[in-house]
Amino acid sequence: MLTITNVTWLDLLYLTGVTVGVYLVKQTVIKKNPAPYPPGPRGWPLIGNVLDMPRIKAWITFTKWGKKYGDITHIEVLGRHIIVLNSVKTAMDMMDSKSTLYSDRPVLPMAGELQRKNLHRVIGSRAAVDVYNEIEEEHIRYTVGAVTLRISHGYEVKEKDDPFVDLANRVLTHASRALAPGAFIVDIVPFLAKVPAWFPGAGFKRIACEWRGALEEMVSTPHQFVKDQMVAGIAPVSFTSNLLEGSGVSAEEDYAVKWSAFSLYAGGTDTTVSAIYSLFLAMTLFPDVQKKAQAEIDVVVGPDRLPTFADRDSLPYTDALVKEVLRWHVVGPTGLPHCVTEDDIHDGYYIPKGSLVIPNIWFMLNDPRAYTNPSQFNPERFLAEDGKEPEMEPRTVCFGFGRRICPGLHLADASIWITTVMSLAVFDISKVVEHGVKVTPEIDQLPGSTCHLKPFKCSIKPRSTTALELIEQ
């Protein structure tokens, strides 16, 4: 999401003054562009498109731009070029086919390639993720945070008020705000990172300092927990113990493992929670879909046990339902921005080095050219029935593009699937009845890089006495 927070108009005037010199030099020194920029809203002198940048639900504004200007839109903010992509083809042509040019990304200081290599090694394929299937199945009655902490650090959470979960939720709230593209002015004007904290508009430095302590605690404490358990010989299999096993782990490698494990938790938990919330909302709003999935589960699994991953291939409708969960409510509507490493000419447009490239994933998964009645929750769109071809696979889009595709996509997919199939096997989800009237939940989102639904009411009841017994087990 593109928003600028903690900046007053006075701050903006100060920042504008700082950029005047840069702008004047730019006009006199820089050579003529080899091709035109992509089309986009016309900006103002000096400040560019600052006033055009959406503050909430950026994907809606990006969609309007796409309809008006085409699949590639350009804006410029205080000298920083931003490219918005509004079609799957364009995103793949640029970020997949030209991945060497479009795979850089503005990252947090603690992120880097060592983390991505560790993530790929331990959870980078379906086969690698299979080792954690039993954990997913056994702990589904706890929160997603509990499941992810068990996988990342082998840590069993308390059923209520667990200190790690509480701390992690606070850190993830900070991260969601920080990772939203343009959430802070320093993301758009990087040189502000070097200004003193008293400089107008530099309030982000105070906020970063406050958040840093919680982040350090969340990264280091579970990591030390695993190391202590390994010394005692009682560490269960986990992402961290897998990478630390053996001898000769250097300080640099230990550091990378520590931050990789946190990345696994942060990336997996927040997005999975969002997807599961959308599952329960969809089942509340579309009861016929729920009944059809439950009928399939009842035939394949039966009433006497919970589903497992071994049942997945035999549950095509339920699998299609999971795909529709990922498409219908897009967890990362604008993804994470990529950064261009070198000047490029694409489709006749000039994409300068250093540009931020933002895929409008929300529109790609709600594009009526790709999906029939996209606002409708319809798993059957992904089934090859009655001679029709299934519609576009959402997992090719929702986890990102190119070399920066989400390394935890297989784990996330597995988490969402097992939660869906187990929940539908034992629960009936429906609208709440208040004063004799069924309450229809509103579909609305909270701000942040991970798109969470606003709280809503629904009724969740065991389907039968047998289902209740399975839940209690």
pLDDT means per 10 residues in the chain (473 residues)?
45 51 48 88 85 84 95 89 94 89 58 44 50 46 65 80 74 59 55 62 64 79 90 88 81 85 71 86 96 97 92 96 94 85 94 92 94 95 88 89 70 85 93 93 76 86 90 80
Q: What is the pLDDT of residue 322?
A: 96
Q: Which helix (H) or strand (E) holds 82?
A: strand 80-85
How far is 443 from 433, CA to CA, in rounded Å? 18
How far is 279 from 260, CA to CA, in rounded Å? 28
Taking the CB of residue 399, how many other CB atoms lie within 10 A of it? 21
How far is 185 from 140, CA to CA, in rounded Å? 40
DSSP three-state, residue 379: helix
How far is 317 from 307, CA to CA, in rounded Å? 14
Task: Quote the pTM value.
Answer: 0.73
Domain 9-472 has CATH 1.10.630.10: yes
Beta-bridged to residue 339, according to DSSP, are: 104, 356
Beta-bridged to residue 272, according to DSSP, are: none
Of 11, 30, 32, the closest CA to residue 22 belongs to 30
Angle made by CA atoms 11, 16, 19, in degrees to the nearest 5? 130
Taking the CB of residue 471, how many other CB atoms lie within 10 A of it? 15
Q: What is the pLDDT of residue 114?
A: 40
Residue numbers belonging to the annotated binding site: 406
Q: What is the pLDDT of residue 336?
A: 77
**Helices 251-285, 144-153: crossing angle, 10 deg rounding:** 160
Q: What is the pLDDT of residue 283?
A: 96
Residue type for position 93: D
67 to 40, 60, 61, 333, 363: CA distances (angstroms): 11, 11, 10, 17, 10
Q: What is the pLDDT of residue 174?
A: 61
251 to 120, 242, 254: CA distances (angstroms): 21, 16, 5
Q: What is the DSSP letter of 192?
A: G
Of 265, 231, 243, 416, the closest CA to residue 331 belongs to 416
Q: What is the pLDDT of residue 110?
A: 31
Residue numbers belonging to the annotated binding site for heme: 406
How far is 202 from 207, CA to CA, in rounded Å? 9
How many helices (H) and strands (E) the chain has is answered by: 19, 10
Q: What is the pLDDT of residue 141?
A: 33
